[in-house]
Structure 1
Amino acid sequence: MGGVDQTRGIVARFAELAVELHESEGVQETVDVVVEFALQALSCSYAGIALAVRGRDFEVPAATDPVVTKIYEFQVSGGEGPLVESMRDHVTVVVRDTAIDQRWPEWADRVRELGVRSVLDVPLTTGSGVVGVLGLYSAEVDAFGADDEAVAHILARHASVALATARNAENLASAVDARKLVGEAMGILMERYDLDADRAFQVLKRYSQQNNRKLRNVAQDLVDTRNLPQSEHPR
């Protein structure tokens, strides 16, 4: 009977999680919901999410304790560890005991000094690849059993879909804002210098390319100052 009750409890928790993730308004709120759920539902002392970021290894937008951030920083500086392997190879990595695991001895020593004895890193994946890693940490040796791994994988799937949705929504909102901003800057040029829309856009585009700046930033400067730089001629 206990097993049935436990299963019902887990199902109920995931139902609540699904609702919370659906109501999350952005990436930050989404990852916060996931790590808090992990802390409640799994045998872990700490939880965190590292997200893959274009142009650098990853960022840590959510952690239930500063210890998690330190663990991630150790791997960034050393270039190795379970998180790095999980994100690179798209695999789940389990460290049963940091006192005896020999795969990353320097990392294990530093993590053990923080009071962490076992680790479970699960990749967050979508159709386009790995978007991040869910990291679970415990002060107990061999804290993560088969049931914990199964729950962690289900949580990772929920989180992956929610993060992809949140990122797409934020990217779409950003693109819409950028178009509005460029349109406003074009309007200023058209009114001030008697240009048509095509010519006004070409002026913005030319200045963007010559100064190696994003078109959105050029438009923002023009909207803020109401003027082009002295060196830029609108014709």
Structure 2
Amino acid sequence: MEVRVDPVVTAGLFAQLARDLHQQEGGKIAERVQQFALDLFGCSQVNLFEITAARGLASEPAQAALASRDVVVVPDTLTEDRWPVWAEATAKAGLRSALILPLFGDRSELGILELSSVHPYQFEAADVLTALALAGHASLAMQASRLEATLHQAIASHQLSGQATGMLMERYGIDAGQAFAVLRRYSQDNNIKLRDVSRQLLDTGQLPGGKNTSVA
């Protein structure tokens, strides 16, 4: 059954969602968005697929949504002819209609939000607009989460290199610039990230190659 929510109520729900997403850790964002969409649209299934360096998107409608940077509407999978293989498989799974929305950050693709229903023609024009607003909230939350994770990694890497630099300074009586140059040289020569070189030095007292450290 379709669920239509009063616009004033919807605005309040989105305000609460924004507050919730601001407080969520990265792993919980998809879960919160999915539950919100299920409650708001009364659809049968909601998936949020995040794009990472190791994971792209195989679905043709998802690729089309990302390529066009716009929502893809599938009124009825039984009559959908743009992606016949996907449509047939989706219909066999019992899903008859779908909204597929791209999620973008400032400069990158973040993922796909996919709403599906067992009913054909489930999603009306108003639902598309509401779903676009939801996709916007999800995108902002995912981007903020990624930036926070990147910042934490940068801080951790800086701390490791600082400790490793200090170890080299003490061991060889060199200054900070010279010690950091040693770390950077070993990183480049061995094609290993600087934080991993620093971690190995701190853990084992040695730099990559299994030999004692050298400043030559």
Q: Under a length normalisation based on structure 1, what TM-score does the superposition of the two structures give?
A: 0.82
Out of 157, 166, 187, the position equivalent to 2:136 is 157
Q: CA deviation at 1:11?
A: 1.7
Q: Aligned residue for 2:46? A: 47
Letter in 2 for 1:230: K
Q: Secondary structure at the match of 1:121?
A: strand
Q: Aligned residue for 1:14? A: 14
Could you list the runs of 4 or more consecutive aligned residues of structure 1 that deviate by over 4 angstroms after TM superposition? none
Letter in 2 for 1:134: L
Tell me the distance in 1 between the aligned counterparts of 2:201 and 2:83.
Answer: 52
- Could you list the runs of 5+ residues in structure 1 that have no partner in the other structure? 59-75
Letter in 2 for 1:43: G
Q: CA deviation at 1:183?
A: 0.5
- Whether the 8 Å contact between 1:90 and 1:130 is mirrored in structure 2 is no
Pairs aligned (count)? 211
Indicate whether 1:140 and 2:119 are aligned.
yes
Give the direction of change, closer, same or farther, for the CA distance of 1:164–1:5 in structure 2 (3 Å limit): closer
Q: Aligned residue for 2:201? A: 222
- Whether the 8 Å contact between 2:77 and 2:91 is mirrored in structure 1 is yes
Q: Aligned residue for 2:163? A: 184
Letter in 2 for 1:234: V
Q: Secondary structure at the match of 1:53?
A: coil
Deviations 1:161-184 (A, max 9, x none): 222222112111111111011111
Deviations 1:190-226 (A, max 9, x none): 2223222112111111111111111111111112223
- Whether the 8 Å contact between 1:118 and 1:137 is mirrored in structure 2 is yes
Q: Aligned residue for 1:94? A: 73
Letter in 2 for 1:199: Q
Deviations 1:77-113 (A, max 9, x none): xxx5211111122111011111110111111122222
Q: Which moved more, 1:207-216 or 1:44-53?
A: 44-53
Q: Aligned residue for 2:28? A: 29
Tell me the distance in 2 between the aligned counterparts of 1:5 and 1:103.
Answer: 31
Letter in 2 for 1:14: F
Q: 1 or 2, which has the higher strand percentage?
A: 1
Q: Aligned residue for 2:37? A: 38
Letter in 2 for 1:88: A
Q: CA deviation at 1:126?
A: 3.7
Which aligned pairs between 1:203-222 and structure 2 lie closer than 5 A? Answer: 203-222=182-201
Tell me the distance in 1 between the aligned counterparts of 2:16 and 2:167.
Answer: 49
Give the direction of change, closer, same or farther, for the CA distance of 1:5–1:131 in structure 2 (3 Å limit): closer
- Could you list the runs of 5+ residues in structure 2 that have no partner in the other structure? none
Tell me the distance in 2 between the aligned counterparts of 1:16 and 1:56.
Answer: 31
Q: Which moved more, 1:197-206 or 1:187-196?
A: 187-196
Deviations 1:51-98 (A, max 9, x none): 33346525xxxxxxxxxxxxxxxxx2xxx5211111122111011111
Q: Secondary structure at the match of 1:57?
A: coil
Tell me the distance in 1 between the aligned counterparts of 2:80 and 2:121.
Answer: 11
Out of 182, 195, 200, the position equivalent to 2:174 is 195
Give the direction of change, closer, same or farther, for the CA distance of 1:5–1:217 in structure 2 (3 Å limit): closer
Q: CA deviation at 1:231?
A: 6.7
Q: Secondary structure at the match of 1:101?
A: coil
Q: Give the share of equivalent positions with the same residue, in percent.
A: 36
Q: CA deviation at 1:143?
A: 1.3
Q: Aligned residue for 1:73? A: none
Tell me the distance in 1 between the aligned counterparts of 2:187 and 2:32.
Answer: 39
Letter in 2 for 1:214: K
- Whether the 8 Å contact between 1:43 and 1:144 is mirrored in structure 2 is no
